Structure 1
Amino acid sequence: MGLRINNNIAAVNSYRNLAATDKAQNSSLEKLSSGFRINKAADDAAGLVVSEGLRSQVNGLNTAARNAQDGVNLAQTADGALGTVTTILQRMRDLAVQASNTGAADSSARGAAQTELEQLNKEIDRIASTTTFGSTKLLDGTFGERYKGLASASADLGTVVVTGTTSIDGQFKIPSGSEFTYKYTAPGQTAQVDKTVKLSSAEGKTYSTTAAGEKELQADLNRDLQAAGVTATVSRTSGAGAKFTVTYQIEGTEKNAKYEIAAQTGIAGALSDAAGSKVGGTLDKAFQVGAYGTDNDQIKIAIGKMDTSTDGLNTTSINLGTDAKGAISTLDQALNKVSAARSNIGAVQNRFEHAINNLNVSIENITASESAIRDTDMAKEMTKFTKNQILSQAGTSMLAQANSGSQNILSLLRG
């Protein structure tokens, strides 16, 4: 047996094992106290990457479920208001049927019915203008308007006529009285109507084909168009065919068409499809019900305008028996429209609820997967901790024994 003073190998060995045991014990304490198997990247680098991805997905799905619930609440709000409108329309129809009974209803009775009819019309308009979800109006025609048009003719752009020269230094003048007109189809309707915006900020002004002129024209156009939900983007080309190209967008969604302001005297701009874009389109309001940014992760909904002017109710009269008969037909059409709108809202609400159920199932399953990677198996980790605790106690004892072994050298020195 060799007895050395400078290097006590037994003590060094005992210390090394004790340090390793202490480190393992501290790791177990960290995992047991936090509940996580991975507390830092060094615990499991690959597992950390996978679990963070799953955690992001779960967070996104939780938010999507809340978004879908917002959709349910919004649909219920709109349906509740339309349910009241239906009740009002049914009462109005009863009044029309009563007023058409000329054998018993005299002019005084029809006059009283007409007065009530007018008040009910006002209530429908009030409901249409004040029904909101948060600050978003639902029944005034602005929630999910549908647009068609900007299709093929310069007439769709109204009276914009451009004058100028063909040189790069040419100037372009927007005449007084210029308007931007586009075709619009209301939800549930088939007939297109024109929507017109006066270009009051740009009309009568002259713009040079320079960067400054391009910027000024774009600012002036948008000053008027943005109030109608239309955005204009202006670009310019130079040379003999100098021109401005104005690309219009509806509500910032689709590049529906472009309008080229060519530098030729008295020539109206030509309308054509923008590259890679669609002519027309819908502006349904979108609810994000998925964890990603694809169209498949959205549910869209549009609610039409539900005031009395849309269906001609505001001009309905039942003062005469013949008027009352016509009013019955008008009210039937209005009831059918409201019922169709409620049916669409109900169908979308059911879709929202199914989406919520699916999201909750996905959240449960993905959370289980993330937990299997990230969370501590408490029973397994407690077994490791108990083992390391015993090893720590034994290691401490053995280190003391190794240190005391060097004391035997003193007996040799005493001789």
Structure 2
Amino acid sequence: MSSINTNVSAMTALKTLSMTNKALEITQRRISTGLQVGEAADNAAYWSIATTMRSDNKALGTVQDALGLGAATIDVAYTAMNASKEVMDDIKTKLVAAKQPGIDRAKVQSEIKQLQEQLQGIASSASFSGSNWLSVDSTSADYNAIEQIISSFSRNNDGSITIGTVDIDITSISLFDADPVGKGVLEGGTSGTSTSAAFTWTQGSFANGDTLTLNIAVDGAAAAPVNIVVADAANFDLAALVSGLNANGTGFTASASDDGTSLVLTSDSTGATSSIQLTGVSTTQASAVTPATIGFTTMALGTGADTGGGVLEIDITNATSAQLDSYITRVDTMNEGVITAAADLGAIKSRIDMQQDFAKDLLDAIDRGIGQLVDANMSEESTRLQALQVQQQLGIQALSIANGNAQTILSLFRG
């Protein structure tokens, strides 16, 4: 049936052309954006996943930046630690050289002083972006004993986020601490631990009322003579002498050795070069009898093991041979601490480098995953575009033909 009110052919052709135009619009948008899923309306599930992953990838990019900053800070500290190790080797070499007879220790000390200042300079300059791990002040409000470097960002199955960090114990690598109580690697043990000198004791022949006089030098300076009056000659032993020294002595503390055969004098000085010498022993008789036998027959002069102070407190100008030995031991022990700290930093540096490589690979992997969800296949889209363009042209032609059918009805009324 032919009708001038309802052109079914034209309606069909128009609907087909509209569908073709809509498909052509989608294809052109995909080609221009490169995305098959460009908005939630295209595919809500894929769009949601891709949008979340893009956000996570931005956070992962920030993690990569944080790793770069951490790596730079570690590299600065590691470089300074290696330089410190070289200086410590030089100091130890100077101390060993000072053991040679006839060497001018004052001149050697001037060289050591320059090396000590170099250590301080290295530590204070080992700063990156305002962060210094080698020269610290543990009393500062912004001091952190554990420094953290953000190393990872991950989303858990329940949607929660986990931020991973690399923790660095600053107390084990800092060389100097401005806090007198805090101790850096080069500040050694408890500063001011006094040194001791042991003197072998032999019971003398005393009478009640005799005065035993001990002349003791502490830190190279003669102290006032210590006078001990013998109250009970028959029982005057090492314990009585210790008691008498502690009651009268200045600059040291007296005690007995574990085996009870030696008198041990420990300096009260907080200086790193404290020393004690028993320079003389004499007796004053209460009556005109044969002088008493001196109670000390053997004297072990000098100092015991040096356990106090740091590398900056070493001064060999007036050091005894025993003190030089203790200084060498001190420097060697601290140098081992520097080597251990450098090794720890090296291990952390290696881990950060690996984490940086992993973060980069992870970023690329996530980008590929997002692409598989939302990227358009340009080969398919270009083929589809060609087909839709042809369909569009045919649709326009079909609509034109359908609209031309009305003209044939008009010819029926021509006579």
Which TM class, normalised by the smaller chain length? 0.5 to 0.7
Instruction: State how far apart, in whole Å, the 1-side matches of 2:320 and 2:37 are.
Output: 82
CA contact (8 A) 1:35 1:376 kept: yes
Instruction: State how far apart, in whole Å, the 2-side matches of 1:39 and 1:339 are.
Output: 56
CA contact (8 A) 1:99 1:321 kept: no
Q: Are 1:129 and 2:108 counterparts?
A: no
Residue of structure 2 equivalent to 1:50: 49
Q: Is the radius of gyration larger for structure 1 or structure 2?
A: 2
The count of residues paired between Structure 1 and Structure 2 equals 277
Structure 2 regions of 5+ residues with no counterpart?
155-159, 177-183, 189-309
Instruction: State how far apart, in whole Å, the 1-side matches of 2:149 and 2:413 are.
Output: 89
CA contact (8 A) 1:289 1:297 kept: yes
TM alignment of 1:35-114, pairs within 5 A: 35-102=34-101, 104-105=102-103, 107=104, 110-114=105-109
The match for 1:315 among 303, 313, 316 is 313
Structure 1 regions of 5+ residues with no counterpart?
146-194, 196-226, 230-250, 252-281
Range with greater deviation from structure 2 (14-23 or 354-363): 354-363
Instruction: State how far apart, in whole Å, the 2-side matches of 1:77 and 1:132 are.
Output: 7
The match for 1:299 among 166, 170, 174 is 166
Letter in 2 for 1:314: L
TM alignment of 1:394-405, pairs within 5 A: 394-405=394-405
Residue of structure 2 equivalent to 1:337: 337
Tell me the alpha carbon deviations over residues 219-270 of structure 1, each in whole angstroms, 9 at most, x when there is no partner.
xxxxxxxx535xxxxxxxxxxxxxxxxxxxxx7xxxxxxxxxxxxxxxxxxx
Instruction: State how far apart, in whole Å, the 2-side matches of 1:384 and 1:368 are.
Output: 24
TM alignment of 1:262-277, pairs within 5 A: none
Tell me the alpha carbon deviations over residues 295-322 of structure 1, each in whole angstroms, 9 at most, x when there is no partner.
7611111333213862311210222352
TM alignment of 1:215-364, pairs within 5 A: 228-229=141-142, 283-292=145-154, 297-303=164-170, 304-307=173-176, 310-311=187-188, 312-319=310-317, 320=319, 322=321, 323-364=323-364
Instruction: State how far apart, in whole Å, the 1-side matches of 2:408 and 2:163 are.
Output: 81
Deviation of 1:129 after TM superposition, in Å, equals 2.0
Deviation of 1:38 after TM superposition, in Å, equals 1.4
CA contact (8 A) 1:100 1:321 kept: no
Residue of structure 1 equivalent to 2:134: 139
Instruction: State how far apart, in whole Å, the 1-side matches of 2:70 and 2:161 are.
Output: 18
Letter in 1 for 2:333: Q
Instruction: State how far apart, in whole Å, the 1-side matches of 2:88 and 2:402 are.
Output: 98
Give identity over the alignment, percent: 23
Cα root mean square deviation, aligned = 2.1
Tell me the alpha carbon deviations over residues 35-66 of structure 1, each in whole angstroms, 9 at most, x when there is no partner.
11112211111110111122223222232223
Instruction: State how far apart, in whole Å, the 1-side matches of 2:162 and 2:37 are.
Output: 35
Alpha carbons of 1:378 and 1:48: their partners in 2 closer, same or farther (altered >3 Å)?
A: same
TM-score, normalization: structure 1? Answer: 0.63
Q: Secondary structure at the match of 1:94?
A: helix
Letter in 2 for 1:288: I
Instruction: State how far apart, in whole Å, the 2-side matches of 1:228 and 1:14 are.
Output: 79
CA contact (8 A) 2:50 2:374 kept: yes
Deviation of 1:85 after TM superposition, in Å, equals 0.8
Letter in 2 for 1:66: D
Range with greater deviation from structure 2 (62-71 or 43-52): 62-71
Q: Secondary structure at the match of 2:135?
A: coil
Letter in 1 for 2:168: I
Residue of structure 2 equivalent to 1:183: none
TM alignment of 1:193-204, pairs within 5 A: none
Instruction: State how far apart, in whole Å, the 1-side matches of 2:161 and 2:325 are.
Output: 51
CA contact (8 A) 1:317 1:324 kept: no
More helix by share: 1
Instruction: State how far apart, in whole Å, the 2-side matches of 1:294 and 1:339 are.
Output: 38
CA contact (8 A) 2:73 2:131 kept: no
Tell me the alpha carbon deviations over residues 334-354 of structure 1, each in whole angstroms, 9 at most, x when there is no partner.
211111111111111111122
Letter in 2 for 1:401: I
Deviation of 1:392 after TM superposition, in Å, equals 0.5
Instruction: State how far apart, in whole Å, the 1-side matches of 2:335 and 2:161 are.
Output: 37
CA contact (8 A) 2:153 2:163 kept: no
Instruction: State how far apart, in whole Å, the 2-side matches of 1:295 and 1:397 are.
Output: 61
Alpha carbons of 1:389 and 1:295: their partners in 2 closer, same or farther (altered >3 Å)?
A: closer
Structure 1 segments of 4 or more deviating over 3 A? 292-296
Q: Secondary structure at the match of 1:390?
A: helix
Alpha carbons of 1:402 and 1:296: their partners in 2 closer, same or farther (altered >3 Å)?
A: closer
Tell me the alpha carbon deviations over residues 74-101 of structure 1, each in whole angstroms, 9 at most, x when there is no partner.
2111110111111111111111111111
Deviation of 1:294 after TM superposition, in Å, equals 6.5
TM-score, normalization: structure 2? Answer: 0.63
Instruction: State how far apart, in whole Å, the 1-side matches of 2:15 and 2:80 are.
Output: 77
Letter in 2 for 1:287: I
Residue of structure 1 equivalent to 2:195: none
Letter in 1 for 2:20: T
TM alignment of 1:168-179, pairs within 5 A: none
Deviation of 1:283 after TM superposition, in Å, equals 4.0
Alpha carbons of 1:294 and 1:133: their partners in 2 closer, same or farther (altered >3 Å)?
A: farther
Alpha carbons of 1:296 and 1:3: their partners in 2 closer, same or farther (altered >3 Å)?
A: closer
